[in-house]
């Protein structure tokens, strides 16, 4: 494997770069640091001997890449080469790539097994003065084609489907369509029969989106290849489930009648995009323009690699944004950035850029800008106004890549005091980075209530009025503005009477918000004094921090899959231990329930060659079944959990349990790991609790037997509902059956709770049902001891519990169990009144 050396004047900087780079591959990697000098009064500097030793420590015949900052770091690196034997010197390369970005790109490429020249190409972003000083020529690399194989030997399968989504295939469902199509080897084609469009590739998000698919349009989808049937079935499932969208919550875009004259001086009319009142001075926001120059390149292959490196880094940035967005605004709205990722992976867009670079010898910046402009123009020419707005996403992604190519710093907004942001428009990437404590309101001259930026603003709780007159762009920073995101009005230097009304409205809104947040940190106690533990479902250390801030009393479900997915090798024991320990430290002795790995079947690991495709992965080789078939894999995770349990309040939870024998087999493996740790004199919690997920009907039927084997139950209503009702959520004809409020599911919950309490163990619930305040009376009445929900739902769930008494809840639950349908249960809950 290629080794990496970081040479810097600052040891602290170099260590930080190394840590950041290693986190990108989440594993051990040959990367060494040569930084600083042994002088306590002046520790900044570089030492050729240190560089030589660092190179020697990571040397292999695969090569060593040395990244440096400027000045003496270059000279020290060049001098260090003189100490090396000539045979080794030929394998060491000094690279002019920027230190931080170059290290990250190089480590990712090297960890993927690329050769030294490919690693160098990945490390190079925008060339800097270092290229001239070192005299390094750009490497020549071959492009690895991502085209799918020609499947002409297979017959083409065809499917015709009608779109039921109210907004059609807008960005998120289009992204889901493309992501699903990309999972299969078959060539997927699609056309809009209603509009008689041309046939386009199903793996291109832009081509799918610009088909202009609206509600009621009929699509023709074809697949050619050996997995064509599975591909079409998976795509059909998306349509059957409405692409996971709930049209009942859709609010149509508001329009503005620009002929209306303002009723008062300084009043501006716009679009009510996000409710709430803001009164604050104005601050203008204008992202720095990116200026590019078109020029001829002599080595188009290397230029293509430079573009690929920028796209790769952009993907990493968007993935980080997606993670942040999932925490801030939830997974559903964060899917906006899934669409951004698919734009970067769009084969049509990439092929167009490649052709411009290869055939016309254009530089990467000019080629990329040209193809992005073409796609944006395609969106703008659509008749559908909603799809026209998706051009913002394409431009947003395009600008991100251009910024990386030219070496510009990311756009940032630094406010010294709370303000109302005034801008022409906000890209989704701009909006998700806003701090609601500093950005009190948003006022733009373009945009709509259905734009992705408006969606983000609403979810962040930032009042916004969009589409006002351009005169706001000429206001001086510091000018007092007020806006009402509920009415779509804004006022520049408002009159005292208007200011008083708005201030009162704002105060009432802020008071309600403060009370909700304050109560979120109080225990969830019913009116008659019974406390219910409210935990959080999380999937990262960042999620845990948000959960604690939201009032979580612990973690009821840590999804460990995030450690395994999206990488080329399995995480090591030490990697897992570090993460579990870090999360436990954030919780500060609050309970942490770690669900063991729940992959396989519906969530395959790319680095495990399963060798077959399952027709129904939800009924297949997943969860505990997978882990028991990979005992060494399972043991690695158990060792990490046990080691982290030494000083923390950890519990283990086994997923997809269907039989008593599965629990016993898992406990045997756990016992073997415990014996190994004892022999190695490694401390762990000898009284560590072990529980199971109850999500399979057989587990409910034998809950009394399972309760004798474990310390707790946690009911996963998402899967349990599907299995109880024998209703595939991907089948439109039966999807309505999959309702967790159906009496059959509620009776399963009651049976599980009764078996647990009879055995003297506690029982929780970690499915989505717990996140709905409407269901709180039933869950409380059924006797659940703990509820675990996404962090954002914690405050409202605690408030719902505080309004109830156990007696009332039990009465409601009893009536619910007697109903004959989920609709009747829901009607009962809506009619029930509690103080």
Catalytic residues, which ones?
A: 452, 766
Could you give the angle at the alpha carbon of 283 between the alpha carbons of 282 and 288, nearest 5°? Answer: 155
**Alpha carbon distance 746, 757 (integer Å):** 17
From the CA atom positions of the chain, what is the Rg in Å? 29
**99, 140, 404 from 407: Cα distances, Å:** 12, 22, 5
* Nearest CA among 729, 747, 730, 761 for reference residue 825: 747
**Alpha carbon distance 377, 391 (integer Å):** 8
CA dihedral 177, 626, 645, 554 (to 10 degrees): 40
HEC assignment per residue over 520-543: HCCCEECCCCCEEEEEEEECCHHH
Task: Calculate helix-pair angle for 116-123, 300-329, nearest 10 degrees.
Answer: 60
The pair phi, psi for residue 151, each rounded to 5°, is -110, 35
Residue 149 DSSP SS3: coil
- 723 in the Ramachandran plot: left (φ > 0), alpha (ψ -120 to 50) or beta? alpha
Say if CB 393 and CB 343 are below 8 A apart.
yes
DSSP character for 453? H
* Nearest CA among 476, 483, 479 for reference residue 498: 483
Q: Please, which residues have CB within 8 angstroms of residue 613's CB and are 6 or more apart in sequence?
A: 227, 230
Could you give the angle at the alpha carbon of 123 between the alpha carbons of 118 and 127, nearest 5°? Answer: 115
Place of tokens 């400027």: 70
Say if CB 61 and CB 91 are below 8 A apart.
yes
DSSP character for 710? -
């Amino acid at each position: 494997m290629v080794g990496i050396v970081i040479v810097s004047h600052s040891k602290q900087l170099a260590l930080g770069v190394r840590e950041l780079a290693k986190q990108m591959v989440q594993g051990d990697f040959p990367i060494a640091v040569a930084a600083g000098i042994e002088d306590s009064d002046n520790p900044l500097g570089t030492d050729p001997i240190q560089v030589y030793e660092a190179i020697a420590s990571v040397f292999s015949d695969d090569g060593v890449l040395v990244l440096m900052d400027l000045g003496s770091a270059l000279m020290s690196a060049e001098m260090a080469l003189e100490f090396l034997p000539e045979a080794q010197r030929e394998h060491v390369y000094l690279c002019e790539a920027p230190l931080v970005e170059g290290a990250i790109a190089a480590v990712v490429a090297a960890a993927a097994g690329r050769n030294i020249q490919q690693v160098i190409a990945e490390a190079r972003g925008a060339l800097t003065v270092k290229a001239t000083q070192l005299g390094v020529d750009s490497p020549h690399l071959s492009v690895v084609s991502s085209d799918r194989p020609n499947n002409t030997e297979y017959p083409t399968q065809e499917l015709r489907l009608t779109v039921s989504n109210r907004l059609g295939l807008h960005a998120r469902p289009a992204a889901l369509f493309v992501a699903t199509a990309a999972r299969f080897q078959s060539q997927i084609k699609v056309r809009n029969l209603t509009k008689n469009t041309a046939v386009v590739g199903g793996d291109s998000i832009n081509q799918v989106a610009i088909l202009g698919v609206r509600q009621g349009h009929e699509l023709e989808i074809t697949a050619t290849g050996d997995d064509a049937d599975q591909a079409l079935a998976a795509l059909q499932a998306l349509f059957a489930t409405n692409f996971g969208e709930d049209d009942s919550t859709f609010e149509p875009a508001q329009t503005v009648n620009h002929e209306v004259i303002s009723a008062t001086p300084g009043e501006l009319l716009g679009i009510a995009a996000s409710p709430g009142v803001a009164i604050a001075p104005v601050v203008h926001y204008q992202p720095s323009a990116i200026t590019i120059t078109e020029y001829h390149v002599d080595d188009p292959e290397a230029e293509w690699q430079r573009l690929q490196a920028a796209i790769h880094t952009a993907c990493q940035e968007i993935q980080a944004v997606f993670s942040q967005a999932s925490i801030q605004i939830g997974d559903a709205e964060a899917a906006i950035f899934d669409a951004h990722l698919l734009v970067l992976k769009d084969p049509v867009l990439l092929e167009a850029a490649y052709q411009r670079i290869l055939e016309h010898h254009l530089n990467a910046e000019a080629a990329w800008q040209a193809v992005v402009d073409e796609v944006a123009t395609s969106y703008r020419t659509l008749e559908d106004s909603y799809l026209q707005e998706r051009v913002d996403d394409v431009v947003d992604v395009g600008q991100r890549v251009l910024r990386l190519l030219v070496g510009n710093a990311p756009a940032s907004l630094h406010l010294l005091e709370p303000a109302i942001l005034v801008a022409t428009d906000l890209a989704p990437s701009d909006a998700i980075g806003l701090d609601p404590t500093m950005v009190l309101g948003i006022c733009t001259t373009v945009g709509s209530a259905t734009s992705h930026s408006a969606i983000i603003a609403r979810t962040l709780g930032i009042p916004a009025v969009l589409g006002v007159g351009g005169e706001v762009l000429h206001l001086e920073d510091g000018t007092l503005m007020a806006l009402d995101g509920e009415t779509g009005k804004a006022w520049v230097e408002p009159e005292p009477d208007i200011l008083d009304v708005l201030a009162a409205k704002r105060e009432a809104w802020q008071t309600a918000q403060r009370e909700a947040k304050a109560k979120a940190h109080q225990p969830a106690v019913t009116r008659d004094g019974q406390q219910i533990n409210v935990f959080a479902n999380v999937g990262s250390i960042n999620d845990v921090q948000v959960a604690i801030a939201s009032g979580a009393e612990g973690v009821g479900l840590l999804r460990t899959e995030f450690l395994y997915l999206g990488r080329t090798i399995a995480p090591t024991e030490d990697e897992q231990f570090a993460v579990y320990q870090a999360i436990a430290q954030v919780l500060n002795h609050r309970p942490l329930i770690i669900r063991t790995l729940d992959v396989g079947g519906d969530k395959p690991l790319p680095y495990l060659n399963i060798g077959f495709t399952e027709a129904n992965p939800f009924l297949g080789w997943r969860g505990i079944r997978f882990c028991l078939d990979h005992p060494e894999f399972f043991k690695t995770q158990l060792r990490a959990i046990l080691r982290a349990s030494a000083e923390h309040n950890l519990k283990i939870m086994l997923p997809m349990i269907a039989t008593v024998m599965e629990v016993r087999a898992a406990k045997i493996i756990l016992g073997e790991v415990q014996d190994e740790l004892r022999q190695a004199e490694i401390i762990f919690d000898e009284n560590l609790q072990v529980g199971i997920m109850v999500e399979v009907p057989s587990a409910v039927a034998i809950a009394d037997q399972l309760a004798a084997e474990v310390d707790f139950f946690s009911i996963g209503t998402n899967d349990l509902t599907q299995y109880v009702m024998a209703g595939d959520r991907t089948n439109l004809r039966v999807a309505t059956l999959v309702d967790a409020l159906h009496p059959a599911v509620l009776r399963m919950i009651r049976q599980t709770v009764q078996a647990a309490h009879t055995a003297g163990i506690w029982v929780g619930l970690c499915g989505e049902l717990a996140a709905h305040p409407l269901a709180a009376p039933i869950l409380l009445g059924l006797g659940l001891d703990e509820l675990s929900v996404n962090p954002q739902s914690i405050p409202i769930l605690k408030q719902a519990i505080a309004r109830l008494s156990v007696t009332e809840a039990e009465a409601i639950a009893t009536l619910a169990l007697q109903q004959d349908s989920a609709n009747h249960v829901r009607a009962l809950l809506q009619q029930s009144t509690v103080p």
